[in-house]
Structure 1
Amino acid sequence: MTATPIPDIKGSGWIVARDPRLRVIAVLAFALITVGLDHVISTSSALGLALGLALAAGLKARDLVRRLLALEGFMLIVLLTLPFTVPGQPWFDLGSLSASRAGRDLALMILFKANAVVLALITLVGTLDPVVLGQALGRLGVPDKLTHLLLMTARQIHLVHAEFVRLRQAMRARAFVPRTDWHTWRVYGWLMGMLLVRSLARAERVMDAMRCRGFHGRLYRLDTPRWRTGDTLGALGLALLLGALVWLDQS
């Protein structure tokens, strides 16, 4: 039985059709500007812009929520603690604890910034195939070793996951039931050890196969990207929107 692949997030529309190099540069510029914003209004506007990009890319709300769950758990802790730890004008009292308006505003800004950056990453980069992303990074001047590492990692993740599923199925076939005892922890330790050993053996076989095909330490890019008029318009539009965010933050 084969392992079920991890589902990828898919998009459609005008944004997804843009050049991968533009999307990588756009998400970097968006993240840098969003992180540097200093007011709740501008950070909330950045979140609105990220949501607009996600909607324009045709992403499903279910996929976005599933990928944001881990982030929102951490953000919940920030929202509950920062108002009580940052000094400033009192907002409300909870027993002997006093929440400040400055802590509330800081927590909201962190919440908006984090969600905006993650949404932009999901929309602009998360919808790219790993191979296309690696090629785009190579075209932008990222060192070959880093792009090779990305491409190899994207290739091996599915293989390691499939090996993990096979080992788990073997454990179930032997009637293993996890409990809170030392035997369960030992079994999980053996599982991780066997996964590492088999992953190493698989990597060595892949390396031997690559050498048989003439691999000499470099992967050649065979893509032929073309910069279109839509890419230029997209770059100009994003530059205007980011400039508007900076102006709103400083006004």
Structure 2
Amino acid sequence: MTYVLTGDSAPLSGFAGMRAKVTTLDPRMRIVMTALYAVVVVSLSNLWVLTSALGLSLSLLALSGLPPRETLKRMAMMDSFIIFMLLLLPFTMPGDAMFSLWGLEASWQGLWRAVEIALTANAVILAVMTLVGTMEPVTMGHALFALKTPERLVHLMMFTIRYIDVLREEYQRLRTSMKLRGFRPGTNWHTYRSYGYLIGMMLVRAIERSERILAAMKCRGFSGRIILLEAFQLRRADLLFAFILGAALATLIWAEVHYAAT
């Protein structure tokens, strides 16, 4: 089994080489450590420990060499999906009253739970963006396949990443055609029917495109197997990074148990 790798296989030596080069570590190790990191952080509940986990994620960001401002902006955009839930949680969770707003009482327990969810989500999201989000799609697919992920699932992920932008462009062309024909959306049956036609046309064109792509791949000798050209190799820097991150996660677990016991 062989892999085509670019960029992510640059050599490293020692902890100093990790600075701003986390993205050059072994992709398999990065995926495994990200999954382990997410499992550990999700299992935490103490706010001080979760704050430490967020600090660890920020440390990973500093080591990754990614632009901090742009990365944190992307994380804030993801936070917008849960911000309303966090704002409503103090009013929907019973407990000791904190204040009352329009007859609705906000509880301290709901506030702490909202803070807990926010810290957990941001710590995990930032770690995923730092360790896995910087991988090329092909590299990620090869790494998942090397980790014994089902081959069809790997193919599905790689094709989805590759062609989701193609489908978006197709959608934009269809929307432009509708606007040129005078379509203006509204709350009426004509709008609902037009959107139904739009979705149906998208599905039809997606099926036609998939058939053309499959035919082209077969003409180039595709047999449904992932062709590998270079084997992944764990280096000293990979093992050192995994050990340091594993020790940090073990410290978080110890701190959680310690706080729970006291």
Alignment of 1:72-221 (within 5 A): 72-94=79-101, 96-221=103-228
Q: Which amino acid aligns with 1:83?
A: P
Give yes or no for contact 1:135–1:223 (8 Å, CA) kept in 2: no
Give yes or no for contact 2:21–2:65 (8 Å, CA) kept in 1: no
SS in 2 for 1:16: helix
For the structure 1 residues 223 and 171, does the alpha-carbon distance in structure 2 shift closer, same or farther, using more than 3 Å as the test? farther
Runs of 4+ aligned residues of structure 1 deviating over 6 Å after TM superposition are: none
The gaps in structure 2 that reach 5 residues or longer are 1-18
SS in 2 for 1:177: coil
Equivalents in 2 of 1:127, 1:68: separation in Å?
A: 18
TM-score, reference length from structure 1: 0.86
- CA offsets, 1:12-67, max 9 Å, x none? 92211111111101110110000100211111111121122223223332344235
Equivalents in 1 of 2:86, 2:156: separation in Å?
A: 37
Q: 159-168 or 169-178, which moves further after superposition?
A: 169-178
Q: Which amino acid aligns with 2:73?
A: V
Equivalents in 1 of 2:218, 2:139: separation in Å?
A: 23
Q: Which amino acid aligns with 1:210?
A: M
Count of residues in Structure 1 that have an aligned counterpart in Structure 2:
239
Q: Which amino acid aligns with 1:126?
A: G
TM-score, reference length from structure 2: 0.83
Ranked by relative contact order (alpha carbons within 8 Å, sequence separation 6 or more), the top structure is 2
RMSD between superposed Cα atoms in Å: 2.1
- CA offsets, 1:100-138, max 9 Å, x none? 322221111111111111111111111111111010011
Give yes or no for contact 1:23–1:124 (8 Å, CA) kept in 2: yes
For the structure 1 residues 96 and 178, does the alpha-carbon distance in structure 2 shift closer, same or farther, using more than 3 Å as the test? closer
Give yes or no for contact 2:20–2:62 (8 Å, CA) kept in 1: no
